[in-house]
Amino acid sequence: MSIIIIGSDNVLPDFFFTNSSVKQLSKSIKLTRFEITGQYYGPSKIVAPHIRFLKLIGSLDPCILVDVSSLTDARFSLSYVGRTTAEDDFHQDMLLKMLEKLQNLENLTIGPIVLQALSVAELRGLPFPQLQAKSLTVVMMVVRSVIPALARLLQNSPGLQKITNALFYYFLQDAELDRHLRTQGLNPDRCWRLKYGDFPTTEQTYSSSSYGVVAKLAKSKDVVSLIKLVLQNSKAVDAMGLRLGGYLNATEYQKLLRVVPTFTRNKNVRTRGQALR
């Protein structure tokens, strides 16, 4: 049995609540899939020990996983973070606590803003839990504000066998993350450049005028750096997939196809997609 809720103001039926803030699904043994997609569904605690698939897309403000002990497949993506950047911590603590609840997880999918929020947590030195996932899919752009979290997730997933990078255009501008780092007494430029300076900023890769500009600015060398970082931080991974989807223009795409085989001979690295025309 599945529950799928889609909308901009999602509220679960009364029979899913033990009180005003707990989504109580523990009594439904047949319920194996639980999905919520929307801009906002309010504070919640999810008690669902029998579900095997969980998908949360939209606002996670806030969402606490109390019991998801049977979960094997989880997908998290933010489309909205907080109310104002000045007071927002980008849900770092909440996301780390959610990861702690995924002990039996086999497949994990994380969206770009989740990666950026976790990157800020990594720069702040917050501890990440160990994961048992065998497959990791990250939806991202090749920008430095996702790299700290990606590297840490790979390092903390010793059983990882497959990783898929799906390149996408939706994310927070680095300037928003930098404001929060300053409130924590950190120097954003020093934090990013220390280990991740080889990767471009969002401003260097993205223009809000059109998605086409994104692809024209994206460089094959940055995608190559991404592949190398994944391979260096996940020794057990034997399969890596790249879903390009028009991320690179024709010239950069051809460069990528020529270079990748020169350093991935012992790894199964596959690219899928097409060049932007």
Q: What pLDDT shows up at residue 156? A: 95
How confident is residue 17, by pLDDT bands cut at 50, 70 and 90? very low
How confident is residue 263, by pLDDT bands cut at 50, 70 and 90? confident
Q: What pLDDT shows up at residue 8? A: 42
Query: Token digits for 23?
Result: 């989504």
79: helix, coil or strand? Answer: coil
Lowest mean pLDDT among 128-137, 224-233, 261-270: 261-270
Residue 257 scores a pLDDT above 70:
yes
Query: Average pLDDT in the 74-96 region?
Result: 72
How confident is residue 47, by pLDDT bands cut at 50, 70 and 90? confident
Classify strands 53-58 and 33-38 as parallel, antiparallel or unpaired: parallel
How confident is residue 46, by pLDDT bands cut at 50, 70 and 90? confident
Query: Average pLDDT in the 71-80 region?
Result: 86
Query: Token digits for 208?
Result: 């809000």
Give every strand in the sheet of 63-67, ordered side by side: 17-19, 22-24, 44-47, 63-67
Query: Token digits for 131?
Result: 């994961």
Spatial separation of the C-alpha atoms in residues 210 and 140, rounded to whole Å: 17
Check residue 249 and report its DSSP letter: B
Residue 2 scores a pLDDT above 90:
no
Instruction: Tell which wins on pLDDT, 63 or 38.
Output: 63
CB 85 within 8 A of CB 79: no
Q: What pLDDT shows up at residue 43? A: 65
Q: What pLDDT shows up at residue 194? A: 83
Q: What pLDDT shows up at residue 276? A: 54
Residue 6 scores a pLDDT above 50:
no
Q: What pLDDT shows up at residue 255? A: 92
Residue 84 scores a pLDDT above 70:
no
Residue 126 scores a pLDDT above 80:
yes
Q: What pLDDT shows up at residue 5? A: 45
Model confidence pLDDT, tens digit, residues 202-254? 888 876 555 555 555 788 999 999 999 999 998 788 889 999 887 888 888 89
Query: Average pLDDT in the 3-14 region?
Result: 45
